[in-house]
Structures are given as C-alpha cells and as structure tokens.
Chain A
C-alpha cells in the first residue's frame, strides 16, 4: 500500500536554469580518489 505523503517526500524540485550555476559550483565534491590521496598523504606524514 503506497502512502501518498511518504511518496510525495521522495519528489524534489528539478534543476532550473537559474540554479544551474550554483549546482555546477557545488559538484566539486570529494570522491574516493580524494579520500585515497588524503589517506596516502596522512600515512607518509606518519612515516616521516
């Protein structure tokens, strides 16, 4: 049985033209590569 209110919460506003620039700037998120580099740097510093 689908709960309408709960299902409605799953919907979010779509990206409009005015919000595109903000979206582009905010997409520079951390990925697994960044985490790996950070971990590697931290281990090198620990060895030193």
Chain B
C-alpha cells in the first residue's frame, strides 16, 4: 500500500513515515474496498453475478483504482453478456495499471475472436432496439427481437429479464418460467428474475389450480437440485430443469400428437370436403344424364306423335283412296257421269235414262244438297258437265216422268205411278203436282203413313198450291176418307172449303213429324259415319 500523498510505501504505523500523513482513514477505506471486492468475488464464484456486480461497484466507489475489483467486474460483465462494458472496465484497468495486468489477457482473448465479438455487439444493439420497442409499446416486436438476442448471446442476462417480463405481461407464464430459469442458470441469484419467476409461478398456479410453494422454500430446494418445485394438492412435484431424455420423449410425444391431430383434421375437414366434392361431381353427372334422358324422352314422345300423325294421315289417305275406288267413290261417279253424257249424246230423246244416270251420281243421301256436294267433292269440269246435262235433261225428264206417272195413276197402276212420280219429284222438287199424285198413289195403295207424310210435305212446302185443300182434307179426315174410299181407287175430289184451324193443326202435326223423321235420319247418318271411322 502506498501513501495517498507522497506515494511512499506505508508501514504498520498509522502515519506515513515519509510525509507524516494520517493514513488511518485511508487504510480503512482500502480495507472496505477490499472487503467489497472479496464479497463480489465470493458471489461471482457461486454465479451470483448481479450480486457480484453490486459488490464490485461498491468496491470501486471506495477505491476506483482497485484494479482487481475492476478486472473482476469486467469479467462478470462479460459473463453476463455485456462484452462492451467488460472491455471498457478492462481498458480502464489497463490505464490504471499498464503493466502485469490480467486485463491484457482478457482483452486479447476477446479481441482474438472478432466474429463472436461482432455477434455479441449486434445482440446488444438488438437488445437496445427491443427496449425501444417496449417504450413504443410494440411488445410483439420486442419479443421477437429478444428471442434472437438470447439465441445469439445466450449469456445476456438483461435479455432474459426483459423477455421474461414481456412474457409475464402477455400472460405466457410457462414461457416466462422457462426463459427465466435459463437466465437463472447463468445468474443464480438475480433478484429481478427471481421476482418475475415467483410471479409467473403464482399466476400459473392460480390459473391451473396448483398451489405454488413459497419462493424461499422453492429456491432452497430448487437451487440445490436445479429443479422447479411446486405443490399440486397434497403432492409436491419436482420438475428438473435439464432433462434431455424427457425433452426428446416429449418431442416424440408431440410428434405423435401432431400426427394424430393431422389425421383428425384430415378425417374431419379434408375428407368430408373431398367426399362432398365427389358427391357434387356425381350429382352433376347424374343431373346431366337426367337432362339428356329427359331430352331423349321428349324426342321419343315427339317422334311417337309424328308416327301417330303419319299413321292417321296414312289411314285418312287409305280412306280417301277407298272412297275413290269403292263402288260409291268418285271414280264411280265419274263413270256415271261419262255414261250419262254418252247416253245423252247417243240418245238425246232418252232423257229419263240420262236423268237416272245423273241421279246415281249424287245419291239419295245428298240429293237435297246437290250443289254443295258437287262443290266440295268434284272438279270444276265435272261440275260443269253435270250442270250442263242436268239443265238439258232434268226438266224434260221430270216432265216425262210426271206424264208417265199421271198416266199410270189414271190407269190405277199405282206402283208404276209411284216410281215415275218419285223420279219426277226428285228431278223437279218444285213440282207440287208430282208430290200430290205421289201421295195420292200411296194413299190408294193403303200406305197411309207415307201418304200422310207426303201430304204434310205438300202443305208445308207448297202452301199456295191448288192441291193444298185436298191434302189438308185428307190429313184432317184421312181415316174416314180412307174408309169411304175403300178400294175405290183414285178419284178426283173437289176441293173443300178450308178450315183454317184444322189446317193449322194439320200443318203443325205434319211439320212435327217431318222434323222427327229428319232428326232420326241425321242420327242414323251420324251413327253410320262413326262406325266407318272406327
């Protein structure tokens, strides 16, 4: 020890033997500084780095030229990951004692590995950046940065402290415990990390229902066995900090669990989606096939309709052909017309034969609508020829038939009279005379019904005819006349005075009978047509 005034070596005296300065206080200060140094050294030996730093700083406050304390402080700083601070302490120590200073070795060793020094410097810079993030309340970024820091510089106690605090703030207690325990392996008695660890364990125990042991007891047990001790109910659970076997086993378990979770996800999420997609595809194809089937069915239905229509047309054509080629067909009618024309050319005077031939063309069923039938069924040339022959022959034939019928009537040949008069009336339906004598012929033959019908027809169609009174008389007194007439044959009766009331009743009865007969005839025609259609 040297005198603080003159620098002379001090002896056991309480004063300097060179300058006489009182060194009692100085010696006490030096002793205090050395005591703090020793305390720091003991703490550093048990890895109580933060406690060692505090003791060494106290030592340097007593004597800033305590080179051993400064070198040890630098060494502790370096162990705590603060290499720049360590280098600074060693540089200061080197300045205080340039020769034979162990700080030279420390500096050389650190500067001999520039890669590591650079990595540590960058980790310190990232730590400061993370601290800046915390001040900006960007805690997630700070956590990310601090994870890199403790990975690059695993001894940086400040990084573990700040990361543990952030995990606590994020209520990630298990992570906080894990990172703080890692930090406590470097600095075993770091008060701040111990506080954080206790807080994390308490919160975790509260959350998980596990009652944590007191921090002192835990520390006492945990420090010796390097394990986490906590109490769950009546059981005290001791969890070692370093269990590589358990870690690998847990990793294997985690892999298996992850695989099972993946399978479950496949089973519950992916497979249903695949199955649903396949079902949708099948449904789409089914819908498409169904649509095609529906279209085909529609086509088949349409074709069947066409077939039915064609069959109907074929049937109609066959019927038309049958109607043309049958006995009463158009071809046959053309033959009749040709025969009538030939007969008229060869024998113009034989009008009755020609008229009969012409009457066969139209037929009885359509005789009342000759013009309409001709218009609908036959060609213009046919109609022209028919009209010509009819105009040339009909009048003469009707007159001839009438005369012949009258002659037969007068000769009481009523059958011939009926035939001739029927022809006459058919050829000339305006002949009331032919109709009257035709009815009289029937009356004479005893066919009262036919006679009544024809007399009624006369009364209705020819109300101004000179034969009406006789017809009415017959209709009114038909039975008496019939009995009176007996078999007397035809006698010309003088017209009686008409009875208007009786005539009206007779006309009404005749009209009613004619209408009933016409309706019956139409019904028969319709029934015949329906039978032909079937």
Contact = CB atoms under 8 A, between A and B. Distances in A.
Interface of A: 1-2, 4, 7-8, 10-17, 19-20, 23-24, 27-29, 31-33, 36-37, 40
A2 B199 CA distance: 7
Contacts of A14: 82, 84-85, 124, 127-128, 158
Contact of B192 (A10, A23, A33, A37): A10
Contacts of A36: 4, 25-26, 29
Given A8-B165, A12-B131, A33-B26, 14 more contacts: A2-B199, A4-B169, A8-B134, A10-B192, A15-B84, A19-B84, A20-B91, A27-B88, A31-B61, A31-B63, A31-B64, A32-B33, A36-B25, A37-B4
B128 A13 contact: yes
B401 interface: no
A33 B62 contact: yes
B192 A32 contact: no
Q: Which of A1, A29, A32 is the most central at the interface, judged by chain B CB atoms within 10 Å of its CB?
A: A32
B61 A33 contact: no
Contacts of B25: 36
Contact of A16 (B21, B62, B63, B84): B84
Interface residues on chain B, size class: 35 or more
Q: Which of B62, B88, B158, B168 is the most central at the interface, judged by chain A CB atoms within 10 Å of its CB?
A: B88
Interface string B425-457: 000000000000000000000000000000000
B87 A11 contact: no
Q: Which of B33, B60, B61, B64 is the most central at the interface, judged by chain A CB atoms within 10 Å of its CB?
A: B64
Contact of B125 (A16, A24, A27, A33): A16
Interface string B20-45: 01100110010011000000000000
Contacts of B65: 31, 33
Given A15-B85, A16-B84, A20-B87, A2 B196 contact: yes
A32 B34 CA distance: 13
A13 B121 contact: no
Given A2-B199, A8-B134, A36-B26, A15 B63 contact: no
A17 B121 contact: yes
Given A1-B199, A2-B196, A29 B165 contact: no
Contacts of A29: 61, 64
The 8 closest A-B pairs by CB, nearest first: A31-B64, A13-B128, A15-B85, A15-B84, A32-B29, A4-B169, A14-B124, A32-B62
B232 interface: no
B314 interface: no
Contacts of B26: 33, 36
A4 B127 CA distance: 18
Contact of B60 (A4, A10, A17, A31): A31
Given A1-B199, A32-B62, A40-B21, A11 B131 contact: yes
Given A14-B127, A36-B4, A4 B84 contact: no
Interface in B42-97: 60-65, 82, 84-85, 87-88, 91-92
Q: Is the interface of B mostly helix, strand, loop or mixed?
A: helix
Contacts of A4: 165, 168-169
Contacts of B85: 14-15, 23
A27 B59 CA distance: 14
Contacts of B17: none
A40 B312 CA distance: 146
Q: Which of A8, A23, A40 is the most central at the interface, judged by chain B CB atoms within 10 Å of its CB?
A: A8
Interface string B160-172: 0110010011000
Contacts of B134: 8, 11
Given A1-B199, A2-B196, A4-B165, A33 B4 contact: yes
B200 to A, nearest CB: 9
Nearest to B161: A11
B306 interface: no
A24 B29 contact: no
Nearest to B64: A31
A20 B84 contact: yes
Nearest to A2: B199
B251 interface: no
Contacts of B5: 37
Contact of A23 (B22, B32, B88): B88
A16 B32 CA distance: 31
A1 B88 CA distance: 37
A11 B127 CA distance: 11
B88 A31 contact: no
B142 to A, nearest CB: 10
B11 interface: no
A1 B203 CA distance: 10
B280 interface: no
A21 B125 CA distance: 16
A19 B121 CA distance: 12
Contacts of B522: none
